[in-house]
Amino acid sequence: MNLLKEEIANVLSLELSVPISIQLFEYPKQPIHGDLSIPCFILAKELKMSPHDIALRIQTILSAVTSIDEVDVIGGYANVHFNRTTFADLLFSKKKKKITNQGTVTIDMSSPNIAKPFSMGHLRSTIIGESIARLYENQGYTVVRINHIGDWGTQFGKLIAAYKEWGVQEEVEKAPIQELLKLYVRFHKEGDEADGRRWFYELERGNEEALSLWKWFKTVSLSSFQGIYTKLGVAFDSYDSESFYNDKMQAVIEQLEIHHLLEQSEGAQVVSLDQEHLPPCLIKKSDGATLYATRDLAAAIYRKQTYQFTRSLYIVGNEQTLHFKQLKAVLRKLGYEWSEQMKHINFGMMRLEGKKMSTRKGSVVYLEDVLSEATALAEQYMQEKNPNLPNRQEVARQVGVGAIIFNDLKNDRRNDIDFSLEDTLRFEGETGPYVQYTHVRTYSLIREQSYTWQDGQNVEDEAWECLIVLSKLEETIARAADTHDPSLVARYVLSLSQAFNRYYSQTHILKDDVHLQNRLSLVDAINVTIKECLHLLVIEAPKKM
């Protein structure tokens, strides 16, 4: 589609003597109105003509373009109808260019806290981050996936205090994550906050008992997390955790002192951000304890020095928006212009029955439990529909896990999501299983066939919608990467699946006639495109279901 857009833009730029960008073009909401729409309102001032007269002028200019059959004028819009044969031949002759060497992108994603279960809430950062990573790789970037594990802070002092007060070693060893969560929740109901702060101070100064317990909590947590990452198909290039930056924070504090940025405020040290209309950034508490901001400043500087990133993304919830504004503002004050390459990719909460999930209150849905339940339900469905399916358990895992992921990524990441397993696992509607089943259906039609696209043939009416949707793939992926919005790909692959299923219901695809080769070529292109989109969405594409 972009080639034809560029051809039209070049012709119009020359004939109208004004620069025309393909970003001007739109798609008609109703297919009957054409394949491409050119709104003329933005051109009216420069051309000193009414939008309707400009549309009429465009109609005349484009009548000489061989790839266009006709141009309709509706108000201030010129609606283009492409020559279907030319359009289809161009689509199938076009070889995809591989984009390379666009630079390095670091992505801070997932980042759960040790000694806490991997909840449904953690799914969002993990999956949104991984999908964005794959989108950037598709666009030619080198991606560094960073799991900035939360393994430092006052909460670990609280956990040590809770374990010292109520913990039983045998029970923790039997079910470490579940038992540590119980202790954490109990501390917030019955514990002494001062005791928690005291144990974190001991941890910071290297108390042997505190360090030993902290390392134990970390080991059992990482082991549990790894099983979940394997199920999700996610892997990391770096596990540099919060504690990794313990010996790097003093250098940041010294830089702040050299630049005369540190101020005393009620015994604490802060950087004033009045000029940026932001609250002061707290660097060091009155008791000497460091904070997230200190650590994140050290992490940002370390990542720039280590990876020389062209972009640095933080996949973190909406509630941290202020923190990242402060972080970038402090880096700017230190003279780091590359801070403009940093971007907070925010997202909404995962809610349960309309309520926020909370580790402190114990209202958490474990992701591992949800993935297991989804897999079991998918296997039950397949047992009913296809009892002879080979590798049923593996396919059930692909479908169950894929359903959970798709349910997340089909939504605008900034919105909150109210989780429902029943809605997620439906095999019809806007779900992952629906898209996966469409992939299976397309594969079943082509797996034993041989075919080649035949140029110059008339395009069957029933195939046109599929061809139009296919032509939008590359621009959709590029826009999804640029806006950090995987839902664009999810919505695209849903529209392609729906278009194919309408085509399938209207057409005898395997009918042996002059159009057979092109029908099979079209189905193959749809199959490949669905698989590519599912990959970008961190979902597997089974060949049988």
User: Quick one: pLDDT at residue 354?
Assistant: 55
Pick the closest to residue 478 from 43, 97, 72, 38 (CA basis): 97
User: Quick one: pLDDT at residue 31?
Assistant: 86
pLDDT averaged over the chain? 92
143, 107 in Cβ contact below 8 A?
yes
User: Quick one: pLDDT at residue 154?
Assistant: 84
468, 117 in Cβ contact below 8 A?
no
Pick the closest to residue 277 from 321, 319, 324, 326 (CA basis): 326
| Domains (range + CATH), the chain | 2-82 (3.30.1360.70), 104-356 (3.40.50.620), 369-536 (1.10.730.10)
Give the least confident one: 94-108, 354-368, 418-432. Answer: 354-368
Instruction: Decide if pLDDT at 357 tops 70.
Output: no
Per-residue model confidence as pLDDT tens digits over 237-274: 999 999 999 999 999 999 999 999 999 988 899 999 99
What is the number of other CB atoms lying within 10 angstroms of the CB of residue 391?
A: 11
Mean of pLDDT values over 453-475: 96
DSSP code of 98?
A: P
Per-residue model confidence as pLDDT tens digits over 437-446: 999 999 999 9
Mean of pLDDT values over 174-180: 86
Number of H helices, E strands in the chain: 21, 13
CA 444, 446, 447, 449 torsion-angle sign? positive
Share of the chain above pLDDT 90, in %: 78
The type of residue at 211 is L
Top-confidence range, 272-286, 330-344, 373-387: 330-344
User: Quick one: pLDDT at residue 468?
Assistant: 97
Contacting residues for 172 by C-beta, under 8 A, at least 6 apart: 163, 179, 180, 220
Per-residue model confidence as pLDDT tens digits over 482-492: 999 999 999 99
Model pTM score: 0.92
